[in-house]
Amino acid sequence: MLRSMYSGISGMRNMQTKLDTIGNNIANVNTFGFKKGRATFADMMSQELSGATGPTANRGGVNSSQVGLGMQLSTIDTIHTQGSLQNTSRALDVGISGDGYFVVQDGDTNYYTRAGNFYLDSEGYLVNGSGLYVLDTEGNNINFSLIAGGTLDDITAGLDNIKSFSIGQDGSINIVDSEGELIESDVQIALAKFPNSEGLQKAGDNLYLVTPNSGAPQIFVPGQGGTGSVVAGTLEMSNVDLSEEFTEMIVAQRGFQANSRIITTSDEILQELVNLKR
């Protein structure tokens, strides 16, 4: 009877974790590049009441008798499926169609992201919304001013020479200068690929960090090495499906409710036992 109460407690506790995961998914339904989470469960250890016996010459075998002691959280997975691309018509919005992650840098630390809403700072560097530098295939910061003819001594000199620019599907950056001439550069936005993308660790701000189980990143030109192409003028939306999340919410709510009934029923039986002595 007490076993059933503790089983119910474990169920309620872990259904709450499932609801926490669902709530985070729904909160990020409009977050660019967000990848939804999923909670999975496993049964806890079982208490063996009697062991199994093998068959003999006079009697057949008998299975063991076990009573489960509840359930436990198994994993919280990050589902890295492709989100839909939304057209924004903004030149510095870049979506990834396929596998891969943009590489951004904060000091000596590299982060990885699917959110391609990029910006130019006052010195012409390509940065994300948090000001982290976007890296090219050579591991260098991408600077539009240098591509347009600026120098390291006068980093902003090339900005006045930019009339328009475009980003190709292979991540290449092409600039039309103030004279209308096309400047073709060998600078390309890098995409990183991992042996196990689900092993990446979320770091907030739409960023991921490498972990021992994700494997080391492999840097490719977009469209090569199994990476997807980049699509300028689009952004990848969250891969959260609201209909699925609301269904899972109902399942978690009913699971929580059913486990609470276990505790209530066990309590009523305990009360009857106490009332035997009057």
Question: What pLDDT score was predicted for residue 1?
Answer: 60
pLDDT recorded at residue 49: 84
Does 146 score more than 90 pLDDT?
no
pLDDT bin (cut points 50, 70, 90) of residue 125 is: very high
Position 205 confidence tier, pLDDT thresholds 50, 70, 90: very high
* List of E strands, the chain: 37-43, 46-50, 65-68, 71-78, 85-87, 94-97, 101-106, 109-113, 119-120, 126-127, 133-134, 162-167, 172-177, 182-188, 191-193, 201-204, 207-209, 218-220, 229-232, 234-236
What single-letter DSSP state applies at residue 212? Answer: T
pLDDT computed for residue 271 by the predictor: 87
Q: How far apart are CA 166 and CA 186, in angstroms?
A: 13
- Over residues 137-153, the mean pLDDT reads 86
What Å distances lie between residue 197 and 33, 78, 79, 255, CA to CA?
Answer: 14, 9, 9, 31
Residue 183 confidence class, pLDDT cut points 50, 70, 90: confident
Is the pLDDT assigned to residue 152 strictly greater than 90?
no
Q: Kindly tell me if the per-residue pLDDT of 178 is higher than 90.
A: no
Per this entry, what is the length of the chain?
278
Whether 157 has a pLDDT exceeding 80, the answer reads no
**Cα atoms found within 13 Å of the Cα of residue 21, Cβ hemisphere only:** 24
The answer, yes or no, to whether residue 18 has pLDDT greater than 90, is yes
Q: What is the mean pLDDT of the chain?
A: 91
Over 90: is that where the pLDDT of 267 sits? no
Question: Which of 1-5, 114-118, 173-177, 268-272: highest mean pLDDT?
Answer: 114-118
